[in-house]
A and B are shown apart, each in its own frame.
Chain A
Amino acid sequence: MLEIRWHSRAGQGAVTGAKGLGDVVANTGKEVQAFAFYGSAKRGAAMTAYNRIDDELIINHEKFMKPDYVLVIDPALAFSADITANEKENTKYIITTHHTKDELIELIPKLKGKSVHVVDCMKISMDTIGRAIPNTPMLGALMKVSGMFDIEYFKNAMLKVLSKFPQKIIDANMAAITRAYSEVK
């Protein structure tokens, strides 16, 4: 069982990202879960979304999770949200930030000694998509860090997930995924 927790603000696309990842994973024959804590979340409110991925049917419906990956797609949430909650010894963090990894760890001391990766999904999504929707670039970064799928396979699968959008938006998302894949450190 692979478990992923997303830290996001409502409206940044964490739920869409989690479901998009779910779509891709389900196409490979694996079982997935994608869910979120909504509460009475308004646009901009801090929220969390989750993925479970397994070879067998997933029957555990508890919300509690000890994540293998923590994906932070809003830069400020790395500071204000409890991103290390229920972490495991080998939990990997992929954090959206304009800081370098060393700068970020110095600013957030609790990340010291942990497996931390940084990528500026905000800048990438602004440059490519033209809006601050950092979910698809985060998926590109996740592919690099986790090695879950070959990037070309993943992009092909995402084409299907994004097929309802105009070509221009699909192209921009593909560019965002590719850039985050190559820029994550």
Chain B
Amino acid sequence: MAEKLKLQEVEVWDGNMAFAQAMRQAQIDVVAAYPITPSTPTVHGYAKFLSDGYIDGEFVLVESEHAAMSGCVGAAAAGGRVATATSSQGFALMIEVLYQASGMRLPIVLGLVNRALASPLNVNGDHSDMYLGRDAGWIMIDAFNAQEAYDLMLMGFKIGEDLSVRLPVIINQDGFITSHTAQNVKPLSDDTAYNFIGDYKEVNPMLDFAKPITYGAQTEEDWHFEFKARQHKALMDSSKVISDVFEEFKSLTNREYKRVESYLMDDAEVAIVALGSTVESAVQAAKDLRKNRGIKAGVVATRVIRPFPIKEVAEALKNVKAIATLDRSAPGGTMGMLFNEISAALYQSESRPVISNYIYGLGGRDMTQADIKEVYADIVKNAKAGKLVTPLQQFSGLRGPKLSFFN
């Protein structure tokens, strides 16, 4: 029987400790992992809890991230609660197996501590790895600080393991900015956290020898399409479960989560759409601009990245005049993901705010309050003109001459 840990009402944890503590409280059956910066302390912290007797479960230290996710797939198919954590190159190496996990409908939870992808080599935070996984069929949720990393890791198990969902879940947090920044975190007690998630419910466990089943069958054109359509439908339909779990968590903790988060949006005329810790920094900048400059600035964030909340995000942005979408990933020859997705969502609604795209913060480049206020200054111009008077895509925080496209 695992020992319990007595936590204080307020702990000072970084995002990795928040992940590790939530994973401990979930009492996972199998963690297979290959540590990589900046998610190493999540794996290290979990392994320490296990060896100190706070977890009844297996910890498998494997030889690569491909093996880590493969081990997770095997253990989840066998019928256990399973999780792991990784970053960057490690996540890239997992990609092949990510599609296997979602196709087999295995509710694995992956703590993804976001980091840049090489080359050039860089251990710092950006969203390249997050963006790389967005078609893999996983539910993707984003935490903006350590408290949220803890809360959402707990909720990730409950969402993915729901009998109507049965899909793997990625919980993202920013490398270093969140993962290595200690902040006040209010945890739940071990019992409260575990009871919130509940016991693992087995579905078609391979270890049930009385009922032999096949995972990952070969289908070819006969059944593949029906499988993938059903998988997509499950992912789309998971929105309701995600909202329900957020609601249940709120009634337990008074901490509110929504699939689309809106800050200062009631009367906002200009809005930034972003992900990660930048969401909170943008709220700080918007507050200052409202107070000191009278600019009606707001912030919208897609807490849930997959399934993408198309209707909710269009609703959140319907009354603004101009929007800046901030993407922390090199867009590889097109517009940033958020620009594309937000534009598509708005095109399905009546409203036509002026929308532009900023690439920022690659490889951990600091997104300062001054940088964010410059973005707001740009979109105030767009809002006043009622049309795009800035370049469609700009780089924010880049040294040297300004870089922009579609001027």
A residues with a Cβ closer than 8 A to B are 18-19, 22-23, 26-27, 31-36, 38, 40, 57-64
Chain B residue at minimal CB-CB distance from A27: B10
Whether B184 contacts A61 by the Cβ 8 Å rule is: no
Instruction: Point out the residue from B12, B174, B176, B284 that lies within 8 Å of A60, measured CB to CB.
Output: B284
Cβ B280 vs Cβ A26 within 8 A: no
**Binding-face segment, B242-250, B314-322, B363-371, B384-392:** B363-371
Residues B12 and A40 in contact, CB atoms below 8 Å apart: no
6 smallest CB-CB distances across A and B, nearest first, come from A59-B280, A35-B181, A61-B277, A34-B182, A60-B284, A63-B366
A61 and B177 contact, CB distance less than 8 A: yes
Query: Once the chains are docked, how many angstroms separate the CA of A64 from the CA of B366?
Result: 7
The yes or no answer to B180 lying at the interface (CB within 8 A) is yes
Q: In angstroms, how far is the closest chain B Cβ from the Cβ of A61? A: 4
B180 touches A38 (CB 8 A): yes
Q: Return 18 A-B CB contacts under 8 Å, by A number.
A: A19-B182, A22-B12, A23-B12, A26-B10, A27-B10, A32-B12, A32-B182, A34-B183, A35-B176, A36-B180, A38-B176, A58-B183, A59-B280, A59-B281, A59-B284, A61-B174, A61-B278, A62-B366
What is the CB-to-nearest-CB distance from A10 to chain B, in angstroms, rounded to a whole number? 13
Contact A34 B12 (CB under 8 A): yes
What is the count of residue pairs linking A and B with beta-carbon distances less than 8 angstroms?
Answer: 68
Contact present for B180 and A35 (CB under 8 Å): yes
Residues of A with C-beta under 8 A to B10: 26-27
Does B123 count as interface, using CB distance less than 8 angstroms? yes
A33 to B277, CA, bound (A): 13
> How far does the Cβ of A140 sit from chain B's closest Cβ, in whole Å?
20
Task: Please give the distance in Å from B363's CB to the nearest CB on chain A.
Answer: 11
Please tell me which one of the listed residues B174, B180, B183, B367 contacts residue A31 in the complex, with CB atoms under 8 A apart: B183
CB-CB contacts below 8 Å: B271-297 with A: 277-278, 280-281, 283-284
Q: Is the CB of B183 within 8 A of A60?
A: no
Given pairs A58-B183, A63-B368, 17 additional interface contacts (CB within 8 A): A22-B12, A23-B12, A26-B10, A26-B184, A27-B10, A32-B182, A33-B181, A34-B183, A59-B145, A59-B280, A60-B280, A60-B369, A61-B174, A61-B278, A61-B281, A62-B366, A64-B370
A6 to chain B, nearest CB (A): 13
Q: How far is the CB of A7 from chain B (nearest CB, A)?
A: 18
Known pairs A26-B10, A26-B12; A62 contacts B182 (CB<8 A): no
Do A32 and B183 form a contact, CB below 8 Å, given A38-B176, A60-B281? yes
Cα–Cα, bound, A27→B10 (Å): 7
Q: Residue of A at shortest CB range from B288?
A: A60
A33 to B123, CA, bound (A): 21
Q: Which of B205-227 contact A (CB under 8 A)?
A: none
Task: Say yes or no: A64-B184 contact (C-beta < 8 A), given A19-B12, A22-B12, A26-B10.
Answer: no
Q: Is the Cβ of B12 less than 8 Å from the Cβ of A61?
A: no
Give CA–CA (A179, B184) in the complex, Å: 30
**Bound-complex Cα distance A57 to B280 (A):** 10
Which residues on A sit within 8 Å (CB–CB) of B281? 59-62
A36 neighbours in B (Cβ, 8 Å):
180
